[in-house]
Amino acid sequence: MDGPVTPVEMDRLEYFYHSRSDSIRIEVCPLADSTLHQLLAARGYRLLEFSNMLARPLAAGHRTEVRALDDHITTRIATPAEGPLWADTVARCFAGHMPITQELIDVVSCWTYSSIGSCYFGYVNGEIAGGGSVAVNACVGLLGGAGTVERFRNRGVQRALIAARLEHAARAGCDLAMCLTLPGSGSQRNCERHGFRVAYTRAKFVLD
């Protein structure tokens, strides 16, 4: 985002993926230099999806008022030993009725290994109903890795998890919180209820 992108830089990026026998996936901020768009088109990349990056300011001692939630919905931070349980829970939320793949488990598990991340469980009547994570770096809290088990949806589990993670970020000294959602999704609406607003729309490109 600070100047033109050169073919040599693209070659180096593509080599990183090709040397690992993987498809190339590039997520592009609209503030990127236009030379990046030209290189993507010239090299045959195709648009895969859009996503919204949302942000909101945080103040020290931030507390979130969450209304109309079931009194039996609670949240707590997962212990390091509960990483596999948390990853399995969130993977099941993302997979829905589809089988859980090892690739999905591996992607979700990245949050449990992060040195700057913390994972939260959401409960309904003491039963695990979902999970979410928050990573803290340079006074920014990034909310991610969130999902609700299907039979517990539409009861406020995600709103409770958002509130808990915002307070976590505030306690860690963050003055900005960010999250990523699919445009127009329930996740975006939940985040907007907590003061998030769209900062920009991100495009993901892929080259098989």
Q: What is the pLDDT of residue 158?
A: 93
CB neighbours (10 Å) of residue 58?
Answer: 21
Confidence band (pLDDT; 50, 70, 90) for 59?
Answer: confident
The conformation of residue 79, written as its DSSP 8-state character, comes to: P
Task: Say which range, 66-70, 79-83, 165-169, has the weakest mean pLDDT.
Answer: 66-70
- Quick check: 99 pLDDT over 70? yes
- Phi, psi values for residue 74, rounded to 5°: -135, 165
Topology at the third CATH level for domain 55-197 = Aminopeptidase (3.40.630)
Query: Is there a contact between 122 and 131 (Cβ–Cβ < 8 Å)?
Result: yes
Condensed to tens digits (0 to 9), the pLDDT of residues 122-139 reads 999 999 999 999 999 999
Determine how β-strand 176-181 pairs with β-strand 140-148: parallel
143-195 residue pLDDT tens: 998 999 999 998 999 999 999 999 999 999 999 999 999 999 989 999 999 99
Q: What is the pLDDT of residue 75?
A: 95
The predicted structure's pLDDT at residue 70: 61
Q: What percent of the chain has pLDDT over 90?
A: 75
Residues of the chain with CATH 3.40.630.30: 55-197
How far is the C-alpha of 138 from the C-alpha of 140, rounded, in Å? Answer: 5
Confidence grade of residue 67 (pLDDT, cut at 50, 70, 90): very low
pLDDT (average), residues 97-117: 86
Q: In this predicted model, which residue has the larger pLDDT, 204 or 95?
A: 204
d(Cα 70, Cα 160) in Å, to the nearest integer?
A: 10
Q: Which of 10-19, 32-41, 55-64, 165-174 has the lowest mean pLDDT?
A: 55-64
Task: Look up residue 19 and give its two tokens.
Answer: 């040397």
pLDDT at 71: 65
